[in-house]
């Protein structure tokens, strides 16, 4: 019965993703107590992005959605990166502010 052509993800996969997400949450909290110098925020953000990608792909079904959906999300992230990169470039190139 797939008249609407939907992809039904198995609950087992959802539970697996859930366990991975909880492990990453523990990991990011534990990593915050370690001293990795400049890599502390990089590790924290890398874990956050990994968790976000897992949620988007599996819980939000983007892995099973038309490519159009992924394209729209990609465009959104591109505009977000313009916001972040150009703002940062503006501030770090003004030495008198730091």
Partner 1 sequence: MDSHAATVEAGLHHRDPELHNQFDTLEQQKDTAHLGMWVFLITEIMFFGGLFGAYLVYRNLYYPAFVAGSNSISIFWGTLNTAVLICSSLTMAMAVHSAAIGARKLLVGFLSLTLLLGLIFLAVKGKEYYDKWTEHHVPGANFHFDDPERPGEAPVPADVASQTSIYFSLYFAMTGMHALHMIIGVGILLALIWKASRGSFPPHHYTMVENFGLYWHFVDIIWIFLFPLLYLISRTPAMH
Residues that bind partner 1 (CB under 8 A): 1, 3-6, 8-9, 11, 14-15, 17-18, 21-22, 25-26, 28-29, 32-35, 37, 40-41, 44-45, 47-48, 51-52, 55-56, 58-61, 65-66, 68-69, 72-73, 75-77, 79-80, 83-84, 87-88, 91-92, 97-98
Cβ of residue 58: shortest distance to partner 1, in angstroms?
Answer: 8
Cβ of residue 78: shortest distance to partner 1, in angstroms?
Answer: 10
* Cα 51 from chain centre: 5
Q: Do 54 and 17 meet the contact criterion of CB atoms below 8 Å apart?
A: yes
Q: Please, what's the largest Cα pairwise distance for the chain? A: 65
Compute CA distances 9 → 23, 24, 59, 95, 97, whole Å: 21, 22, 9, 52, 51
Three-class DSSP category at 74: helix
Cβ of residue 87: shortest distance to partner 1, in angstroms?
Answer: 5
Cβ of residue 77: shortest distance to partner 1, in angstroms?
Answer: 8
């Amino acid at each position: 019965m797939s008249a609407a052509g939907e992809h039904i993800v198995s609950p087992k996969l959802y539970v697996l993703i859930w366990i991975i997400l909880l492990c990453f949450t523990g990991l990011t909290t534990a990593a915050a107590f370690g001293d990795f110098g400049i890599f502390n925020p990089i590790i924290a953000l890398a874990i956050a992005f990994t968790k976000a990608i897992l949620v988007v792909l599996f819980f939000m079904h983007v892995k099973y959605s038309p490519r159009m959906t992924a394209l729209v999300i990609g465009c959104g992230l591109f505009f977000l990166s313009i916001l972040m990169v150009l703002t940062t470039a503006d501030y770090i190139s003004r030495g008198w502010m730091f």
